Amino acid sequence: MSDISQLEDRLGYRFNDVSLIRKAITHSSYIKEHNRSGQSNERLEFLGDAFFDAIIGEELYRLFPDKEEGFLSRTRAALVCEKSLAEEALRLDLGSYILLGNGEEHNGGRKRESILADTLEAVIGAVYLDGGFEAVKELVLRLFAKTIEDARHGKFVIVDYKTALQEKLQNNGAARIRYVLLKESGPDHNKTFQVQLEVNGRPAARGTGKSKKQAEQNAAKAMLEREKL
């Protein structure tokens, strides 16, 4: 693993509490294989996901004063998706710093999109806890400046099946949409997730993927294609 100070250089942020960034790059497979008593980065990932979503949402609200809610939702979903996070993590070479178990290491975990995206979210959570909201907002807007600029100029196609499905169903009346995790299978380094999409409490479609987010997108895509919505 590379030196933490190198990662701080890449991020453009110095931690007051270095234990936070160390936790942010600690994958659950490392904790399990090394019988460590500490926590993996999963809680920080949860926190980072929430702040990342809010910061991007606020920025889009500011950049597009005349756009409707549907456009803002689709654009935000495209910017905060797993692929967007993973691409930025690759640019930062974040994979070189992640603490992984041997199984995940030998199966390409450092380049796995879901792990890279989750780790970057954990880093965002760590920066919030270390420096507060203004620090994490500055970090996010700086790291994703090009992506946001591309969105502002319409340079990429937004493919967000979950938002598209929600809009189409709600155009036909109120709809309660929920994604339920049915099962996860496989070893830690190569898990597969299966989710069930429920509409108004009834099963509507299923999707699988290498992350829960991907499985949810695939379930929404399956329903859109089946119902020709």
Question: Per residue in 94-119, pLDDT tens?
Answer: 999 999 988 888 888 888 888 999 99
pLDDT at position 9 = 95
Asked whether residue 1 carries a pLDDT value surpassing 50, the answer given is: no
pLDDT at position 45 = 96
pLDDT at position 16 = 96
Q: Which of 110-119, 122-131, 165-174 has the lowest mean pLDDT?
A: 165-174
Is the full-model pTM beyond 0.85? no
- For the segment 218-229, the average pLDDT, to the nearest whole number, is 83
pLDDT digit string, tens, across residues 150-167: 888 776 555 678 888 888
Task: Determine the Cα–Cα distance for residues 158 and 7; give it in Å rounded to an integer.
Answer: 30
- For the segment 192-216, the average pLDDT, to the nearest whole number, is 91
- For the segment 70-85, the average pLDDT, to the nearest whole number, is 86
Q: b/e per residue, 144-156, with b = 16+ CB within 10 A? A: beebbeebeeeee
Q: Report which of 24, 39, 42 is spatially closest to residue 124, judged by C-alpha positions.
A: 24
Q: Is 140 exposed, middle or buried (0-12, 13-18, 19+ CB in 10 A)?
A: buried
Quickly tell me which residue has 């654009």 as its tokens. Answer: 75
Asked whether residue 228 carries a pLDDT value surpassing 80, the answer given is: no
* Residue 118: active-site member: no
pLDDT at position 108 = 82
Task: Determine the Cα–Cα distance for residues 229 and 223; give it in Å rounded to an integer.
Answer: 8
Task: Determine the Cα–Cα distance for residues 104 and 115; give it in Å rounded to an integer.
Answer: 10
In the chain, the amino acid numbered 3 is: D
Q: Of the residues 49, 59, 82, 216, which is catalytic?
A: 49
Q: Of the residues 45, 118, 121, 160, which is catalytic?
A: 121
pLDDT digit string, tens, across residues 14-72: 999 999 999 999 999 888 887 666 789 999 999 999 999 999 999 999 999 998 887 88
* Residue 49: active-site member: yes
